Amino acid sequence: MTELTPDIIRKLPKTDLHVHLDGSLRIPTLIELAKERKVKLPSETVAGLRELVFKDSYRNLPEYLEGFLYTTAVMSDAEAIERIAYEFCLDNQEEGVRYVEVRFAPQLSVRDGLSMSEVVRAVDRGLRRAAREFNEQPAVKSGSEPKFVAGMILCAMRYFEGNWSQGFGRFFEAMPEADRFELYSAASVEVARAAARLRDEGCLVVGIDLAGQEKGYPAGDHKHAYQIAHESFLGKTVHAGEDYGPESIFQAIGDLHADRIGHGTWLFSEDKIHTPIANKKAYVESLVQFVADKRITLEVCLTSNQQTVPELAEDLSKHPFAEMRKRKLSTTFCADNRLVSNTTPRSRGRLNARWRRSTCPPGSAGFVDLRGEEELLSGQLPREAAVRTPVHRLGGPDPRENRERVAETLGGRRGVPTLSIRPRCRGVRSGRCAPPSPGQ
């Protein structure tokens, strides 16, 4: 077997399907933007920030997340956001990445003078500029070098506070009588609608994601948003099984139609199940088989998992990827956060070489429709050619009307956004309900 040297790893065309823009800035760029925008940093040198903020290892998850306070603070205007997106692509190109889906929460950057659409369009400009420059190279045009393609995944948040951004603060101001979970749901619906609209207008939006703390903030609260994405033919990924057990993964798939799962670290962990399931072993086995049968891809992030999961800090061999591969699950290795995790595809490749390979063919789990992507990136593709029109817009019945009629027939009420014949699962928050496990 050929040894995967650093040079070979760099030259191999790679994909990255789970990488956060706000966790992947260049430190010199962060320092420069912070000075210009009067954002105070713990240090104004690369070495200082590496020592104090962006480390190789962290004591806990809160320390890991501290760096995002500074990166999101400088992503405060279109010029900065476009530059960050552009440099992000250059860094990936240098590492041999030829297909990347970068994700970010646009509402974190919304403020006076900067709408969610403008945030997304700024990232779009950065991606297009980097792709256009790279794909103009003679090696690419001759076919000896693969083209570079990028897409955007817009993140909704399971949980947020009003002081996280003006964008989030406006939900508290506009809906003062609403339950907090209604605010979270309303915010995610806005992300899904914006994603579908901006994709239809020709932006490089390919899907949506749900990020943030799982415990206490179940995926089911975001059914409406994901139904919108589902009906709009957007890709759907969900952070799940990262800081909660297998039932969180089930919710992502069952409630949100997830095509991919971000992390899925605790997929096999019976001891991480918190809901009253009688036969936990049978439940996990059924869930694993379901994930395998449906070819739901797991976005595996080895470095960040080792940095944030105490059980893996000293021994990465405890990571469940070996078991994922043994079960022939669809997996793909991802950076998660290039800056915060201090990782790149090349360093990740050396780490991943210990595991031999992932089990997802390169690019097969991506959300970008590669047909016509070159024209779309260059802006030559007509808007109509890039739009995937939901079935009900072609003259068929609106599926939302069907759901209301079914709900009413079964004793429900009009206006119910979704309907499930199984018990409503609030297990991640209340611990009351989980899907019946075999043998119950």
- The answer for 184, left when phi > 0, alpha when psi is -120 to 50, beta otherwise, is alpha
Lowest average pLDDT, out of 5-19, 62-76, 358-372, goes to 358-372
Tokens of 191: 């992300």
Specify the pLDDT at position 343.
81
Rounded (10°) CA dihedral 92, 93, 94, 97:
70
Residue 345 lies inside a defined structural domain of this protein = yes
Q: How many domains does the chain have?
A: 1
Catalytic sites, residue numbers: 242
Residue 428, amino acid:
V
Mean pLDDT of 319-335: 93
d(CA 222, CA 184): 8
Length of the chain in residues, anyone? 440
Top pLDDT among 357 and 271 is at 271
Inside any domain, residue 432: no
**Nearest one of 114, 59, 112, 56 to 82, comparing CA atoms:** 114
pLDDT in tens, 219-250: 999 999 999 999 999 999 999 999 899 999 99
Q: What span, in angstroms and rounded, lies between the C-alpha atoms of 108 and 168?
A: 7
414 located within any domain:
no
| Structure tokens, 80 | 């900065």
* Residue 356 reports pLDDT greater than 80: no
Residue 182, domain member (yes or no): yes
pLDDT at 219: 96
Residues with Cβ within 8 Å of 5's Cβ and at least 6 positions away in sequence, in order, are none
Q: Which of 214, 173, 167 is nearest to 187 (CA)?
A: 167
On whether the pTM is more than 0.75, the answer is yes
The lowest-confidence range among 173-177, 224-228, 278-282, 413-417 is 413-417
Phi, psi of 206 (to 5 degrees): -120, -10
Which 3 state secondary structure label does DSSP give 239?
strand
The C-alpha torsion from 397 through 400 and 404 to 407, rounded to 10°, is: 110
> Residues 358, 359, 360, 362: what is their CA dihedral angle, to the nearest 10 degrees?
50
Stretch 263-279: mean pLDDT: 93
What percent helix, strand, coil does the chain show, rounded to 5?
A: 50, 10, 40
Q: Kind of pairing, strands 205-211 and 331-333?
A: unpaired
- How sure is the predictor about 89, in pLDDT bands with cuts at 50, 70 and 90? very high
Distance from C-alpha of 316 to C-alpha of 84, rounded to nearest angstrom:
31
Range of the domain at 70: 9-397
* pLDDT the model gives residue 342: 86
Residue 91 has pLDDT above 60, yes or no: yes
Establish if 277 belongs to a structural domain: yes
- Neighbour tally for 2: CB within 10 Å: 5
Do strands 149-157 and 14-20 pair parallel, antiparallel, or not at all (unpaired)? unpaired
Q: Tens of pLDDT along 208-226?
A: 999 999 999 999 999 999 9
pLDDT of residue 436: 37
**pLDDT tens-place string over residues 171-207:** 999 999 999 999 999 999 999 999 999 999 999 999 9
Residue labelled with tokens 């009629």: 405
- What CATH number did the domain enclosing 179 receive? 3.20.20.140
